[in-house]
Each structure stands twice: as C-alpha cells, then as structure tokens.
Amino acid sequence: MSSRPSDPPFEPPPVPALVVGTVAHTRHRPVHHAFRYRTYQWLVDVDELPQHQGPLRWISGFDAADHLDSGRLGGGIRGDLERFLAHRGVQLRPTDRVLMLANARVLGYVFDPLTVFWCLDPDDGVRAVVFEVHNTYGERHAYLLDVDGTGRSGMDKAFYVSPFNDTRGRYAVSLRLTPHRVVVSVGLDRDDERVLTAVTDGVPEPATGRGIRRAALRHAFMPQVVTLLIRLHGLRLWRKLPIQDRPTHPKEAVR
C-alpha cells in the first residue's frame, strides 16, 4: 500500500469502518522469525458501537467486558477510558469522541492483541492515544502515549506479552489514521537493538452489511484464527528459545 506524504498522520475516516489489510510480525533477535497474514479490524466510535440484528450480530459484537476495566464501574468502554485517563492527569471532555481500532466478537469470541483508542476533540485534534495490549493468558495492560505531530511515540515495556520475551525494553510507536490508510507500527528495542517489529496496515472501508459479510467470508473466524496462529508460531519458537518467567500483572494497569 502506498502512502500519501501530503496526508497528516491524523485525519480520521468516517466510522464505523472496516480496516482491511495485513498484519506483519518480525522477530529479529535472538532468532529470526517472521509471518504476515491478511486481516481486518473495526474502527468504531465507542459511543455509537454497531448494533446489528440477525446474522450480522454474530460477527460484529462489541462488549465492555473485553476492554480495560470490563465496564466494572459503569459507563461502558468510554467510562473505563475516562477513569483511566483521569487517573493519569488527562480529562476526557463530554464533547470529545473516542475512536477504537479493535477486533469484534465473532460467534461470541474475541481476541485482540492490540486495541488502539484515539481521543479526539470536536475539531478532530488528538487529545490522547491509549494502547491496550492483550496476551493469551487473559491479561491486559493499557499505555497512555505521548504522541507527537508526526504520529510517533514511545514508552517503556511494562507487560508480559510473549513467553519468549520478558518486560525489558522500550517500544517505538508510529501511527497513521486517515481516510486512505490506517497504520499501527510497534518496534521493541532493547540494549540499542531492535528485537521485534509488528505492523498493522489497512485501508478503511464503510462497514456496510455487504462489506461486513464479505470481510467475514474472506477472513472467516478472524479472532479464532489469530489465537490459533499465535499458538502455532509459539510452538515453533518453543524449540529455539527459553521460556521467560511471567510476573503477576496488576489489574490497576487498566484502571
């Protein structure tokens, strides 16, 4: 996919949208391992989540239980995000909107390795960006990013994601959210070397009934497939890399 240099990094497309593209993951050290597959995600306004009837509801479900503090104190996903930001010194205003890039539930199941929240003012200026990272152990961790005008940011790693990597290192993040392209690039650096790179790159399309059915047919059981692929690649690496101890993760990391 070609980029458009004239595009600013943040110019949100109409939502709800399906972001259809690829996910690529490269482990650079201590062994090289790479994969790439076609995928799609949803880009939605958390205050106007899709509410489909009939068969579409089985492939386009969203639930606060799948994100942040699981809607524990009310207000759904927005309520959780508002409290998360307030605890870190950022006030989400009533006039702000929140766009979420995430997987939807398919047949009642979802696995979302990375959810991105863009908090936008009425002029679509970025007030905050939050990364929510999920691992296959049922844990999640949210990072508040300090994103510059080029869509770049960085933060220290604080969450155990892969059994072959501990929590050392620093993430380098690059984001693009435009009507032509949505890109989330994350690199993990440790001891001045790039350890791994993960890139989600897609084109937003209107989430019409026809578009949803087409995406679901082309990428059948997407969340289930993502989970299966992670485990299969883990088995391949298990023969080459030692397992790192998994620390206890505090639930306060998403509150």
H or E, element range at 120: strand 114-120
What is the pTM (predicted TM-score) of this model? Answer: 0.93
Range with the lowest mean pLDDT among 63-67, 117-121, 242-246? Answer: 242-246
> 252 in a domain, yes or no?
no
CA-closest candidate to residue 222, choices 33, 20, 35, 13: 20
Structurally, how many domains does the chain consist of?
1
Contact 143, 133 (CB under 8 A): yes
Q: Structural domain of residue 53, as residue ranges?
A: 17-240
Question: Which candidate, 5, 75, 11, places its Cα nearest to that of 204?
Answer: 11
Q: What is the mean pLDDT of residues 23-41?
A: 92
Ranking 14-28, 98-112, 236-250 by mean pLDDT, the lowest is: 236-250
Q: In this structure, what token pair is assigned to residue 10?
A: 């943040």
DSSP-based three-state secondary structure for 214: helix
First to last CA, the chain: 37
Residue 71 covered by a domain: yes
Model confidence at 107: pLDDT above 70: yes
Q: Is residue 208 part of a domain?
A: yes
- Has residue 252 got a pLDDT over 90? yes
Is 191 contained in some domain?
yes
Convert 127-156 into a string of H (helix), E (strand) and C (coil).
EEEEEEEECCCCCEEEEEECCCCCCEEEEE
The pLDDT of residue 7 is 65
120 assigned to some structural domain = yes
Residue 166 lies in a domain: yes
Tell me if 201 sits within 8 A of 3, measured CB to CB: no
Task: Give residue 1's pLDDT.
Answer: 43
Average pLDDT over residues 216-223: 90
254 assigned to some structural domain: no
Query: Across residues 182-204, what is the average pLDDT?
Result: 96
Lowest mean pLDDT among 15-29, 116-130, 212-226: 212-226
